[in-house]
Chains A and B, each alone.
Chain A
Amino acid sequence: MGDCLLVTIQVDMHDRLALALQEDLTERISATGAHGVLIDISSLEIVDSFIGRMFANIAAMARVLDAVTVVVGMQPAVAITLVELGLSLPGVRTALNVERGIALLRSSLDVPETGDVSGVS
């Protein structure tokens, strides 16, 4: 999808899966030269502090690799849990659903590098 990567998490995350995702994603960002990462966690119902930190880590790593991370579709229960755990995910941009997330990514990619992204209305 253009220069954006879309990650959809469909199963309950466990620690090793999260680490694998982190590894995989950084590989792919550098391989494809993507400028945006969209993580859809609308099917994720359980989070713990490790997963929460992993999102923050992925966002930080992506930023180092010059890509913007947007987390979309977070469930209310998940949001409350993360807040209670003290993880407010600073630096991670959020959106309600994939559509809004893509719009957000496009607008944030559009502004700094106009004309660089092709096929974006």
Chain B
Amino acid sequence: MSTSSRLPGLLREKEAELLREWIREQTQTLSTQQGRLSETDLREQSREFLALLRRATQDGELADVRGSGWREVLDALASLSRSRARQGFTPAQTASFIFSLKGPLFALLRKELGNDGAALADETWTASVLLDQLGLYTAESFIKNREEIISRQQEEMLELSTPVVKLWEGVLALPMIGTLDSARTQIVMETLLQKIVETGAEVAIIDITGVPTVDTLVAQHLIKTVTAARLMGADCIISGIRPQIAQTIVHLGVDLGDVVTKATLADAFAVALQRRGLVLSAARPRS
């Protein structure tokens, strides 16, 4: 079937016409997503893809797009879906790049083979299978690219430094942002302890205002950090506990032990100063 297909010939002869129709089709569907892709870009991509498709169909197998003759086409599709994944297209929008070719192609086939019903059905089937495979490949590589982006972002999140800031002589603060998991807590604990050694701090304030949820595991991590700091000779105060988190902690039956907890960082800081034997007083008004 594929060897006698007229598809390669048609693609070669009617390329310009097909391209025009295809671009018209795409600009219609893309008009709702304006701004993301300029029309010249679209035209360029379409022209390039159609040329590659023509070349691949000349000597390639039409039924199997995983053959060596199709490598260039697949590479082009992969880079296209990569760029569209970055631009924030949905998978459906990306795959429609291929699927929108069906309409013009089938119309062309009907025009050329209008009299021969059997041949028209055959050719339509061949073209449909071919474009489906290409479309699926596009969607697949789109998702692969998305996953790459997500995993890279995850790594970046992990690498976000967990800053330990010095609030006062001998008072450290550790503002925690984001979800706490084992890997992060380990890093947090190490940086905090290292900083305690470096600065000789006596009080460390762990602020969990930016921690969205506290479950038993997170509470466990917090207690571990506090205990480790205590073993090093520094007192820990946990601050920034929101009402919901206080409720969760009590409902879960988490025992924070004798860890000092404060509602706000300011309260914790006041306690820390008190422990260091310092008093804050208002400056004397100028006479």
Contact = CB atoms under 8 A, between A and B. Distances in A.
Contacts of A71: 231
Contacts of B231: 71, 74, 78-79, 82-83, 88-89, 94
Enumerate the 9 nearest inter-chain pairs by beta-carbon distance, A residue then B residue, closest first. A76-B193, A95-B233, A96-B233, A94-B233, A79-B231, A79-B228, A88-B227, A83-B228, A83-B224
Nearest to B191: A76
A100 interface: yes
Interface residues on A, range: 10 to 19
A96 B230 contact: no
A107 B193 CA distance: 25
Interface string A62-86: 0000000001101110111011100
A8 interface: no
A97 interface: yes
A74 B189 contact: no
B232 A79 contact: yes
Interface string B214-248: 00000000001001111111100000000000000
Interface string B185-223: 010011001101100101000000000000000000000
Given A76-B193, A94-B233, A83 B200 contact: no
Nearest to A95: B233
Given A71-B231, A94-B231, A95-B233, 10 more contacts: A75-B197, A76-B194, A76-B197, A76-B228, A79-B229, A82-B228, A94-B233, A96-B196, A96-B202, A96-B234
B46 to A, nearest CB: 58
Interface of A: 71-72, 74-76, 78-80, 82-84, 88-89, 94-97, 100-101
Contacts, number: 53
B215 to A, nearest CB: 19
A72 B233 contact: yes
Contacts of B228: 76, 79-80, 82-83
A84 B196 CA distance: 19
B34 to A, nearest CB: 55
Interface in B21-67: none
A79 B193 contact: yes
A80 B202 contact: no
Contacts of A95: 233
Query: B interface, by DSSP: helix, strand, loop or mixed?
Result: helix
Nearest to A76: B193
25 contacts: A74-B231, A74-B232, A75-B197, A76-B190, A76-B193, A76-B194, A76-B196, A76-B197, A78-B231, A79-B193, A79-B229, A79-B231, A80-B186, A80-B190, A82-B231, A88-B227, A88-B230, A94-B230, A96-B196, A96-B197, A96-B200, A96-B234, A97-B200, A100-B202, A100-B233
A57 B36 CA distance: 69
A74 B233 contact: yes
B189 A80 contact: yes
Interface centre among B190, B193, B224, B233 (most CB of A within 10 A): B233
A96 B234 CA distance: 7
Given A88-B227, A96-B200, A80 B233 contact: no
A41 to B, nearest CB: 10
A84 B224 contact: yes
Contacts of A97: 200, 233
Contacts of A79: 193, 228-229, 231-232
Contacts of A96: 196-197, 200, 202, 232-234
Contacts of A101: 233
Contacts of A100: 200, 202, 233
